[in-house]
Homo-oligomer: A and B are copies of this chain.
Amino acid sequence: MNVPSVSQRIINTDVPHIEIVLNRYAHLDPPPANLAQGVSRWNPPPSVFRAASDGSLSETRTHKYNAVLGLADLRDALHSKLEQDCGLDMTGQEIMVCAGANQAFVNAALALLDPGDKVVLPRPYYFSHLCSLQLAGACVEYCDFNKATLLPDMAQLRQLLRQPEVKMVVITTPGNPSGAVYSRAMIEEIAQLCREHGTWLVIDEAYCDFVHDGAQHYSPCANALGFDSIIHIYSFSKSYGLAGWRVGYMVYPQRISEHIQKVQDTVPTHAAVASQRLALAASSGGSSSSSSSAWVKQQVAALHTCREAMWSQVSPYGTVRTNGAFYFFVPLPGGPASEDAAIELLAMQCGVLVTPGSAFGAPGHIRVSYGSLPEPECLEAIARLGRGLRSLAQRAENGPEG
């Protein structure tokens, strides 16, 4: 008997980093504070609770298959929101509701990339993007980051795009894990480069509502740029606290509609109808979409205390004060070689879980989230994180024997 093997594709695919961190320290008692996962501390808005309890989740339509593209009323609501609130010109653009933003990205990867196609992925990247690209068999070309901004080194990006066979560029703004918000000028330059080189531009905007200190999120309007090869990816998980419901959406040029639908029909068929109904309730807030935006803005603004507390602990180590998402990407005092030991010390001695920078292609850092825990718990965890970082800094100063 021969035992059949798994694919080289999956061997070449990165591991599920968050699951590994969570599982490795799941036995600890008390459980460590989770600063590792990209999850919002809030539950969904009141409109969702009303929708969940008004009986509509028990209706027949919730149990049956529905449209591959998503519920018509949710797609209409998202269309209006993108046109009115975000100022996108949606002419020629289509919306597809997906089982989360990751699954939307998988749709793009499988529909647009063939094995061996080159994709430019700036570090530090969101790890699920890398995994999707690997599953699609793409050849990933990394672009380094500017250490002062955590944004791409534009000279290198221009260089990489000169290769004729680059098929796609992927950016995340606000950044995960960096928290860096791409400037309008930089996004427009990247879009222009993609336009010139005939390259897809995929922009993951899962954290589009998460901007601080007056920063602005810029979503490039494909039509205004005269460029019909931009794919936007959005999530309900973060803004509306709906992570467990697995619902997000993508916006793409209608010309690829039949192609994207093939992947969607094959993989999830559609996002769970109940999840879509709650997403509709979330995005319509109470009476209008602006009240929903106001609710999200309020939640994000209330992260201020934890953000500042976190900043005061991480700023001594050369951390960039980025203005998006709910992360800081902290250089480890001991450099890349200290990463494993740092994660271990923070979990075992300080009771905090953080994500290793190597998960994002930037070893020697940790990603810490100030958005995942209720304020008192978060402040306590941040204090412990601070002690851990000081201890790591002392060790680094004293050398390995210190």
Contacts and interface: CB of A to CB of B under 8 A. Distances in A.
A341 to B, nearest CB: 24
Interface stretch (A171-179, A190-198, A284-292, A392-400): A190-198
Point out which of A65, A132, A241 has the most chain B C-beta atoms below 10 A from its C-beta: A65
Interface string A123-142: 00000100110011100000
Given A39-B65, A52-B57, A244-B66, A106 B19 contact: no
A33 interface: no
Interface in A240-282: 241-247, 256, 258-259, 261-275
Contacts of A16: 68, 261-262, 264-266
B15 A262 contact: yes
A246 B229 contact: no
A298 interface: no
A283 interface: no
Contact of A265 (B39, B113, B131, B242): B131
A11 B260 CA distance: 11
Contacts of A53: 58
A6 interface: yes
A329 B304 CA distance: 62
A4 interface: yes
A350 to B, nearest CB: 23
Interface size of A as a range: 35 or more
Contacts of A62: 244-245
A91 interface: no
A61 B243 CA distance: 10
Given A197-B2, A229-B4, A110 B135 contact: yes
A195 B1 CA distance: 6
A3 B274 contact: no
Interface string A88-125: 00000000000110110010001111110100000000
Contacts of A163: none
Contact of A228 (B3, B8, B100, B267): B3
Contact of A128 (B13, B43, B99, B265): B265
19 contacts: A1-B196, A4-B167, A7-B111, A7-B112, A9-B136, A10-B110, A16-B261, A43-B60, A43-B63, A62-B245, A63-B244, A99-B246, A128-B265, A137-B137, A245-B274, A246-B269, A247-B272, A272-B272, A272-B275
Interface of A: 1-4, 6-11, 13-16, 18-19, 37, 39, 43-44, 49, 52-53, 57-58, 60-68, 99-100, 102-103, 106, 110-115, 117, 128, 131-132, 135-137, 167-168, 195-200, 226-229, 241-247, 256, 258-259, 261-275
